[in-house]
Chain A
């Protein structure tokens, strides 16, 4: 069964950096795109970034482009999110999610439990 376990959240000052990690198991990690999605306290969900199965094709939401970097390590079955120049508005629970292709439709079919990032001085 698919498991995604995030780690690395915490409290960080504005302008500083933080690195999140997601440990994946129960599926062929090298075969699927994986995403980061976040949710600010009391707000809706916001897509952040994706890395394709090839490990080199990456896309970002405009709100994080140039500040966040997504990467994956096939040998360790891990997904990372390097977050630089953090802002207060980056405060959120960060989820990693596996993309599935169901009947030709792309969707996020498995999610981790999330890790909380708080950006505050």
Chain B
């Protein structure tokens, strides 16, 4: 079973700054089946990035994903107030089982 480790646990930044979130897998993620979700307080998670680098419909272009194999990154180029939330990476493995990372909380500095 692949384990996803996200870092940092909490990231404190100001609006307008650049955010870089990391997701490391214990084994290579096949076919880049790596997804990122955003969860705002009191809301369900929302799909952000799929296939490691593809933005979902309606996601602003300040969000970008990169990486392959075991190391993946979510970058937010210029933080807006609504971007302060928790971000999860997730991989799809065999037998349709999904694994989530523990999350990175992006908070206002």
Contact = CB atoms under 8 A, between A and B. Distances in A.
Interface of A: 33, 35, 37, 44-47, 50, 52, 57, 59, 61, 95, 100, 102-114
A104 B51 contact: yes
Contact of A111 (B46, B56, B95): B46
Contacts, number: 76
30 contacts: A33-B96, A35-B98, A44-B86, A44-B101, A44-B103, A45-B45, A45-B88, A47-B90, A47-B97, A50-B96, A59-B95, A59-B96, A102-B54, A103-B51, A103-B54, A105-B31, A105-B35, A105-B54, A106-B92, A106-B96, A107-B47, A107-B50, A107-B90, A107-B92, A108-B35, A110-B47, A111-B44, A111-B45, A112-B44, A113-B44
A105 B43 CA distance: 24
A109 B102 CA distance: 19
- Interface size bucket, B side? 20 to 34
Contacts of B97: 47, 50, 59, 61
Contacts of A114: 44
Contacts of A95: 44-45
B37 to A, nearest CB: 8
Given A100-B47, A105-B32, 4 more contacts: A57-B96, A59-B95, A105-B92, A108-B35
A28 to B, nearest CB: 18
A38 B2 CA distance: 19
A44 B35 contact: no
